[in-house]
């Protein structure tokens, strides 16, 4: 049965990995199903120290924003059509899980290179540079993030013990200009995200004192 042509496009959330220097796209990971909830926490970065009245209203920078979401990955539908979905039959959802897991690993090539450098006596080995990770959640929210915690619950398996149903929990910290160079790709993307928040905040009507049950500020 064909989709009704007037139906709105269902957008998927996902993660995009960019080269941190060139900004080139390295990988796009589309979530199979959008999470039912996304939890966000913002902690203001105030300049005030205890008892320092002159700094009470000052902000040092953008808030520290953390995001938590839980996504389901399910191979059940693909297993109904095995000839069209060989990977799902042979491996279950392991490729999808691996795509997410490897975001946390230095590449094997980098690890081998570091081991070689260590074996010849290199005194200082630079930590591996990870890709710039973006959470894409609709057109208004494209934001650089760092993965702070990651867990997987595998809930069902095929006869070969390949997981065919799993839930992935992601904890993310938004990277602001406090974390990234202002003129970098990540810094630029954060400012676009920040400015989008400001524009959205202007879309609501200004309230009135009457709605608050007062005539004005004493």
Phi, psi of 116 (to 5 degrees): -65, -45
80-131 pLDDT per residue, tens:
788 788 888 899 999 999 999 999 998 898 889 888 988 888 767 778 788 9
Q: Which domains does the chain have, with CATH numbers?
A: 14-45+58-106+126-203 (2.40.30)
| pTM confidence score | 0.85
State residue 114's pLDDT score.
Answer: 86
Please report the pLDDT score of residue 132 as a whole number: 96
Q: What is the rounded distance in angstroms from the CA atom of residue 197 to the CA atom of residue 203?
A: 10
Q: In what order do the strands lie in the sheet with 38-46?
A: 25-30, 14-18, 132-136, 142-157, 163-174, 59-74, 38-46
Distance CA 79, CA 164 (A): 9
Pair 99, 27: CB distance under 8 Å? yes
Report pLDDT for 188: 94
131: closest CA among 149, 150, 146? 146
């Amino acid at each position: 049965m064909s989709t009704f042509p007037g139906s709105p496009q269902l957008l998927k959330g996902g993660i995009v990995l960019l080269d941190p220097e060139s900004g080139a796209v390295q990988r796009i990971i589309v979530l199979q199903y959008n999470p039912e909830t996304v939890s966000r926490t913002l902690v203001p970065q105030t300049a005030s120290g205890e008892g320092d009245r002159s700094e009470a209203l000052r902000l040092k920078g953008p808030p520290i924003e953390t995001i938590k979401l839980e996504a389901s990955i399910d191979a059940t539908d693909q297993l109904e059509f095995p000839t069209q979905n060989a990977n799902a039959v042979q491996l279950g959802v392991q490729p999808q899980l691996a795509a997410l897991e490897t975001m946390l690993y230095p590449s094997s090539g980098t690890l081998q290179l570091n081991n070689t450098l260590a074996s010849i006596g290199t005194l200082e080995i630079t930590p591996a540079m990870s890709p710039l990770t973006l959470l894409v959640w609709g057109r208004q929210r494209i934001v650089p993030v760092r993965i702070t915690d990651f867990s997987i619950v595998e809930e069902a398996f095929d006869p070969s013990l390949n997981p065919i149903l799993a839930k992935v929990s992601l904890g993310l910290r938004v990277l602001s200009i406090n974390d990234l160079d202002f003129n970098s790709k990540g810094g630029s993307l954060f400012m676009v995200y920040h400015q989008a928040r400001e524009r959205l905040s202007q879309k609501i009507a200004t309230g009135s004192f009457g709605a608050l049950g007062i005539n004005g500020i004493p």
